[in-house]
Amino acid sequence: MPGTTAYQYGNGETATTAYEGPTYGSISTTLSGGGIYQDKAVAVAAGDTFCASAEVVTAGAGNGSITLTVHLIGGVTESSSKQLVGVPGNNGWTPISACVTATGAHTTVRTQFYPGVNGPAMGIDAVDMHASKAKNGGFNIGGTDWSVGTGGTLTTYGAGVTGNDPFEGARFGAVTGAPVYQEFTVSPSGFEDYCASAYVASYGNSTGAGGSLVVSLITNHFPFPIVTTSQKDFTSLPGGNNWTQVEACASSVKLYDKVRVEIVPAAGTPPLLVDAVDLHPVLDAQSGMNGATHLWNTAAPAFLGLVTGSAAYEGGQSGAVSGVGGAVYQSIELPNDTDVCVSARVSAHTASSSVTMTARQLGQSTASSSKGASLTAPWRPLELCFRLYGHFPQRVGFEIASGTTRVDVVDVHASLVTNGGMSLIRPN
């Protein structure tokens, strides 16, 4: 775009190291509206939802700003944005995300980044865009598409009303008394895992809201349905604009007919705020590591076990990988020229640990992309994006460098963004 400068940098070329893989993108602009974007032709119908995310940083020293916007164009343009200001520099990579729901038909989905005018260059990496099954996950069109349990309330607010601003877009939801949920039918019946995420906070400037994000896979089995669930519980949430991301993934050993995502408020706590709800099927199996891990492979001397209870991130169990020099992985087969993004939560199970999340094409010594982490006890997210070339299986997993690492909510999905890992970048 006019006024925009865009570069690709490799590791070691600047004070900033790529968030994942060997390279990252850097953009700056001298004009309002300047930036970079990518369009994807998609037949969008009313109710369709799309979510985008990335990792951003101020390239070098300083504290810059950047906005991520998802546009639905072709027809009356609809958009949702997330702006970050005071973004840390050097290697202070920060996640950014936004979701938009269509109220009419469109022909194109656009992912766009707007750096601050005349501000420092902004680094971009691990860009993802995918369709979400959760309609109106950003509550930008009120409570449309959400059902409310008996005795509950769902109220939506804009900025400056409750002491909270939306995490993204124009509005957010406030839930009290009973769950709010969406449920949809899967046809034909499915075996795929589903992963959900949301941003949650406490009403106003209070602290203490809590609840659960629940994903359910429902089998219509006479005389009673069989329900497989996984949930992420959370307590003592901060208020103001201190939004917290939560995630859950559910797996089923039976064909299921329906999928449900629920936001469940805890009793006796302040209203639970929610925004940017995302739900989608994933390409890997046993993504939440709940109850079984036999579909994960190990490369010696790796060992994959399970931890339970409070040691787990969600669902009651998490994986625990150990065996320095080994790896735990699944093989994913996809069509040629498919863009894929992977995310997970990791934490040290021992006092400290080191692990690298990798995507590695079968037979290749060089990873398609990788993200390493030196860990202590707190759970932290990892993300990477890559392009699949050829028809060889892609091994997605974790290579162990030291200690024992807990692993959960491993989410492998196709992305609508080409070159999300920023191995090639140019202004448009």
Q: What is the pLDDT of residues 167-178, one digit of tens each?
A: 999 999 999 999
CA 287, 290, 294, 298 torsion-angle sign:
positive
| pLDDT range class, residue 207, cuts 50, 70, 90 | very high
Structure tokens at 354: 């080191």
The percent of residues above 70 in pLDDT, for the chain, comes to 97
The percent of residues above 90 in pLDDT, for the chain, comes to 83
CA distances from 353 to 4, 92, 367, 424 (A): 41, 21, 21, 32
Beta bridge partners of 125: 55
Structure tokens at 275: 């925004």
CA 121, 126, 129, 132 torsion-angle sign:
negative
Q: Is the pTM of this model over 0.85?
A: yes
Which of 315, 21, 426 has its CA nearest to residue 10?
21
Beta bridge partners of 297: 329
Please state, in angstroms and rounded to a whole number, the distance separating the CA atoms of residues 274 and 291: 29
- Fill in the amino acid letter for 9: Y
Q: What was the pLDDT predicted at 28? A: 97
Q: What was the pLDDT predicted at 254? A: 80
Whether the Cβ atoms of residue 425 and residue 18 lie closer than 8 Å to each other: no
Q: Which residues make Cβ contacts (< 8 Å) with residue 60, sequence separation at least 6?
A: 14, 15, 16, 89, 90, 120, 121
Instruction: Choose the CATH number for 147-281 among 2.102.10.10, 3.30.1490.190, 3.50.30.60, 2.60.120.260.
Output: 2.60.120.260
Please state, in angstroms and rounded to a whole number, the distance separating the CA atoms of residues 264 and 133: 18
The single residue listed with the structure tokens 């006024």 is 3
CATH code 2.60.120.260 region(s) in the chain: 4-132, 147-281, 297-414
Higher pLDDT, 392 or 220: 220
Which of 257, 248, 251 has its CA nearest to residue 184?
257
Neighbours of 287 (CB within 10 A): 26
Whether the Cβ atoms of residue 162 and residue 174 lie closer than 8 Å to each other: yes
Burial of 236 (0-12, 13-18, 19+ CB in 10 A): exposed
Structure tokens at 134: 């959760």
| pLDDT range class, residue 336, cuts 50, 70, 90 | confident
Please state, in angstroms and rounded to a whole number, the distance separating the CA atoms of residues 97 and 244: 13
What would the mean pLDDT of 36-64 be, rounded to a whole number?
Answer: 95
Q: Rounded to an integer, what is the distance from CA 126 to the centroid of its chain?
A: 11
Please work out, in degrees rounded to the nearest 5, the angle formed at the alpha carbon of residue 343 by the alpha carbons of 340 and 345: 165
How high does pLDDT run on average in the chain? Answer: 93
What would the mean pLDDT of 33-59 be, rounded to a whole number?
Answer: 96
- Fill in the amino acid letter for 75: G
Third-level CATH fold of 4-132: Jelly Rolls (2.60.120)
CA terminus-to-terminus distance, the chain: 5
Tens digits of residue pLDDT in 348-406: 999 999 999 999 887 677 778 999 999 999 999 999 999 877 667 789 999 999 999 99
Q: What is the DSSP letter of 18?
A: P
Burial of 109 (0-12, 13-18, 19+ CB in 10 A): buried
Whether the Cβ atoms of residue 52 and residue 113 lie closer than 8 Å to each other: no
Strands 64-73 and 36-44: unpaired
Beta bridge partners of 195: 249, 280
* DSSP helix/strand/coil, 153: strand
E strand or H helix at 7, and its extent? strand 4-10
Q: What was the pLDDT predicted at 394? A: 85
Third-level CATH fold of 297-414: Jelly Rolls (2.60.120)
Neighbours of 413 (CB within 10 A): 18
